[in-house]
Amino acid sequence: MKAKTYIILISLLFLAVISGCAVKQRGVDQESAQEVSQAKPTTPPDWVLGKGHPRFPQTSYLIGVGFSDTNAVSANESARSNLAKTLKVRIRSNMKDVSSTEGTYIESVIQTEVDTVLEGVEIKDGWYDKIKGVYYSLATLERKLASSTIENRIKKVELSLKGYMRDGVEAENRADVISALSNYMAGYKKDPTLSPLKSALYVITRRRGSAESQNNYNGDFESRILRIVHNLKMSSLSGNQLKVKSQKGLSDPLVAKVYLLSDGKEIPASNIPVIFKYEKGSGELEESTLSDSNGSVQTRVHQILSFDEANHIVALKLDFDRFVSSFDKELTDKFLSPLQNLKITFNYSIQTPKWTANKSYAWRKGITGLVNQLISNIPPGETPLLGVMVFKDLRYEKTTPFSRILEEDIKTILARAEDIKIKEIAVAENDKPEEIAKANGLDFYVNGSYRMENGGLEMRARLIETQTNNINSSANTLIARKEINPEDLALLEPKGVPTGSLESGDSYQEKLEKIVAMKPDRSPFNVSVWTDKKEYQINEKIVFYVKAEESGYLTLFDVSSNGNITVIFPNKYHQDNFVRKGVTYQVPSPNYGFEFDIQGPRGLERAKAIVTRNKIPLLELNLDEGFHSLQSGSTRGMRDIKILSKQILSAESSDWAEAYSEIFIFGKEQVYTRGSRKIPILEKPEKPIDMIGTMGNEEESR
């Protein structure tokens, strides 16, 4: 038969969490109590009638009564069960109002705490009603023991809450966003356990002050979570609003900062997962990354895949799924969902360089050849960043409108090179190229000059390593006047522009390059200069050879990649610089008693030989140390290079001849194959057979 239950709760029971084993029963055990009660008259004891138990007063104990018509064991369970139900009702009614969401969680907490408390309940008495056939049971709990247990439990919870708050604040102050949120959210979830514990303590002690004396952190935890969500920000540092003139990728990375705004200060936030995604256009880039200790995140667009859109947009967003992966889902939905909208964008425009329709095939071929010479010495396996400076017209010692045309055409060809990135840079006429290159983070930069001669337009260029300012390679080309389109030719010959001279305010390097490029208008005879090979390593031995078709006076210059010049002939050991026609001269000669060792620096080294028919002292030589030298950047070097240029210019074109040669110096055991980088020359388009005349420059068809 189903057990009937009835409870008379003598006093209010408490809620507490008790760890460890249940307290051992004291006094009369269940069976002996039942036997004693059965031996007594059928009059029920006072505790059955709700009048209390003389050995367990209400001031010291919480008691509960249960009954069953089955057996004493069922009566015991009934007493415990009804004690728990009443306890939950009392605790719940004593608590302040809570929201429905919190209520669900608190009910779970109350149930857990009550179940724990019941482990300390003892069955202290029992009685059997023979007439009705009903078993009664008395459950008791000592108030002092219960209150002590609950107070310890409250202290542990509050210590945990203080720890969460302390660790969260420390993490927030150093912008460790994920750690701060983890602590605040753990504290927010833990805090509701205090309320039922406080209510249970009041039920047991009947002292309201004891229950209200503890702090409540929940409001603080919530406000701090919301503050972080509101103050987590992103901003772009570089790479926005770029103009792309390459079909490969962006020259600069897209760089942003993730930070936490605090009292107007931007504190870098580290270890924040972010993701870069195209919103418009398409390309290859690194999508996912984490912010570093400076809050910095970046990606590179390695390849642009779409050229249909004039503008591309790359969005930087918080990688929300990774960010919240360790957080409670319910609290994530409640507090963190606004972070899904945290993002900034980078924009870049596509301006892919193209040849204008009126550029001749010979012009394209000449510029491509010039560029191939420049990039031939760049080590393979690297992707350097290059910039192009504005070329000078040597006739006017300044840039002209044609300089910009030439700059754009060189960049157009460079943009087709594999594993090279081109950066757009702003160059003013008086800016120093080496300073511009460093300011723009270039690995190399292209600088050069041009001049119109009788044979056509001669262009000379150099590829210079930014870090060392050493020349890595040089290039020259000559394009016939007829191959230049009329519009460009008009810019090459502006009216009213005064011709400059070498006495202008040129730098040492500019004067040096003009001397290297100097040649008579019509060379009266030929001169040759060469070495036994074209490539050397530092510390290898080198020999120079010179031969002239006519007798004359030889001055042989060795120009290192850093701009220093050494006059290696004449020298202390051979001061007479007269050379006979048709005779090959070796420097150093075997009778010098020594050899030349390559000292470096690495890069392009050049030899310039000048032979004059008359004995013209190009320089006042100081041979005390064996060889006269001009040091780049020194006052004496600047003085000597001015004198040298004057002397060469003062000679009649029919009185001198020159020769030029290049060698490349590798670092010791740093040899690589030069010339592996090469841009193919665009094929000359065939003229359709059904068309009359030609398109573009008519001279191409001849």
Q: Tell me, yes or no, whether 391 and 307 share the same domain.
A: no
Q: Tell me, yes or no, whether 323 and 467 share the same domain.
A: no
pLDDT at 31 over 50: no
Q: Residue 445: exposed, middle, or buried by beta-carbon count in 10 A (0-12, 13-18, 19+)?
A: buried
Read off the pLDDT of residues 474-511 as tens digits, 9 standing for 90 and up. Answer: 998 999 888 888 888 887 776 555 554 444 556 788 78
3-state secondary structure at position 150:
helix
Q: What is the mean pLDDT of residues 116-138?
A: 83
What length does the chain have?
Answer: 702
Read off the pLDDT of residues 257-299 as tens digits, 9 standing for 90 and up. Answer: 999 998 889 999 999 999 999 999 888 899 999 999 999 999 9
CB 26 within 8 A of CB 122: yes
3-state secondary structure at position 207:
coil
Q: Which residue range(s) make up the domain with 360? A: 354-500+677-702
- Cis ω for the linkage preceding 380 (within 30 of 0): no
Q: Tell me, yes or no, whether 252 and 331 share the same domain.
A: yes
CB 132 within 8 A of CB 216: no
Q: What is the mean pLDDT of residues 618-623?
A: 86
Structure tokens at 244: 């792309």
Structure tokens at 435: 């300073």
Structure tokens at 347: 């924009």
Question: What pLDDT score does 641 carry?
Answer: 86
DSSP letter (8 states) at residue 667: P
- Residue 92: pLDDT band with limits 50, 70, 90: low
Residue where the block lists tokens 């290696």: 568
Q: Tell me, yes or no, whether 358 and 265 share the same domain.
A: no
Structure tokens at 660: 């030029």
Q: What is the mean pLDDT of residues 243-264?
A: 83
- Residue 84: pLDDT band with limits 50, 70, 90: confident
3-state secondary structure at position 528:
strand
The closest alpha carbon to 313, from 274, 279, 275, belongs to: 279
Question: What pLDDT score does 37 carry?
Answer: 45
Question: Of 285, 316, 350, which closes a domain?
Answer: 350
Identify whether 509 is part of a domain: no
Q: How many of the other CB atoms lie within 10 Å of CB of 439? A: 11
Q: Tell me, yes or no, whether 128 and 174 share the same domain.
A: yes
Q: Residue 410: exposed, middle, or buried by beta-carbon count in 10 A (0-12, 13-18, 19+)?
A: buried
Structure tokens at 221: 């935890």
Residue where the block lists tokens 């841009």: 679
Residue where the block lists tokens 């059955």: 48
Question: What pLDDT score does 114 carry?
Answer: 62
Q: What is the mean pLDDT of residues 93-120?
A: 56
Domain count, the chain: 4
CB 235 within 8 A of CB 259: yes
Read off the pLDDT of residues 175-186 as tens digits, 9 standing for 90 and up. Answer: 999 999 999 999
Q: Tell me, yes or no, whether 692 and 656 share the same domain.
A: no
Return mean pLDDT, the chain.
80
Identify whether 292 is part of a domain: yes
Read off the pLDDT of residues 420-432 as tens digits, 9 standing for 90 and up. Answer: 888 878 776 677 8
- End-to-end CA distance of the chain: give it in Å, rounded: 120
- Residue 350: pLDDT band with limits 50, 70, 90: confident
Q: Tell me, yes or no, whether 382 and 310 share the same domain.
A: no
- Residue 462: pLDDT band with limits 50, 70, 90: very high
Q: Tell me, yes or no, whether 294 and 369 share the same domain.
A: no
Instruction: Give CA–CA dist 37/48, Å, rounded.
Output: 11
